[in-house]
Amino acid sequence: MNTFINFSYIVASILFIFGLKMLSSAGTARRGNLVSALGMAIAVIATLLYQGMSYHWIILGLIIGGAVGASAAQLVKMTAMPEMVALFNGFGGIASLLVGWAEFHARPTSPAFTLVAISLAVLIGGITFSGSLIAYAKLAEKIDGKPLLFKGQQGVNAGLLGGALLFIILFAAAPHGYSLLIGLILLALVLGVLVVIPIGGADMPVVIALLNSYSGLAACAAGFVILNNVLIVAGALVGASGLILTSIMCKAMNRSLANVLFSGFGATTTQSGGGYQGEARPVTVDDAYYILEAARSVVFVPGYGMAVSQAQHVVRELGELLEANGAEVKYAIHPVAGRMPGHMNVLLAEANVPYEQLVVPEDVNPIMSTVDVAIVIGANDVVNPAAREDENSPLWGMPVINVDHARTCIVSKRSLNPGFAGVDNPLFFKDNTRMLFGDAKKSFQGLVAQFKEG
């Protein structure tokens, strides 16, 4: 039986790898998700075949977990997806912590290697859990999204991390070290909070990717604790892919991971419209229609405002009408647009926007000067020209989408207020910028109606 179980784990691991590879392309992402789910189903069924398994609590857990998962899938709005991802990361971390704790409770005299694995599962899992809860609270605006800084913060964090490492050494060398384990758990939970509170809202996509990696590393450590091969492989895959995604997103912002974690970006918020002088030029839906009706090339730049107003479906409809009118339509996606990795891609895929029309900043920036109209939908920091023009801006050096180079730029926003990062945007006062104030969904519904009437 053990041979069959281990063979099943190998099959599951292979399916995880192929599924992860398929997730890298929009054309195969859904199949990749199903392939990975099949791998997990095989791994779970194989684990349940172990002799001596008690199914009472497992069945109860399946019922409760299944009900929570099904409810979340049906009830959680797309705008709340970043918060849900943060919570999922946290639950993965606390699960690994509990596995390590339970294993030590069952076998307190385990070998030193197992004790080290237990302590790593507890440390990384605890940091992931409490850090993810803070990320959730910031994303859901339960607490202030601005960085929370205090004097000597980095020293405190370094001291706590050093203390945690000392606890691990003492724990591995001292059998029956239950008090040491409890102390390590408390240190991990406090460290998770202190690691995330100095990170501003603009950096949340990076934080989510990093916490996702942490959850994978915690699961990998838990796999070593219970000697489960498929958990080790799955945790390593999640940990590695999360780190790769974190690196990609840091590169997209032209910042190092250390800068993201310790700089306190956005700690000081400028007053709305106060950092840059000029006059914003409002435009009505009727006027915007005439601008778009004459356009032969249009680039949509979606941001979190599109998610809030749930405008992705009407944006896709407007794009189809523009194409029918003879315009070439593209959707420029910045890697850190929205509040989680791939946030805008998910929304546009939900609206059935053709994947071939999605472009990245490196592709669209060189031709932006030939674009008739760039339409910004609730994006702010990723289109802020201060990143190129103002050395004193917190965004200085960050690659942005150069919508201000288009012949006309229409910005759909409710007001001139800064974005989540709290940085003023001089784009609003550019000569070629027109501000389409109001709810994005209603504004674009008006544009769609105009095209259909025309």
Q: Which residues are catalytic?
A: 381
Q: How far apart are CA 454 and CA 444, in angstroms?
A: 15
- Cα Rg, the chain, nearest whole Å: 25
Q: Which residues contact 267 (CB under 8 A, 6 or more apart)?
A: 146, 147, 149, 200
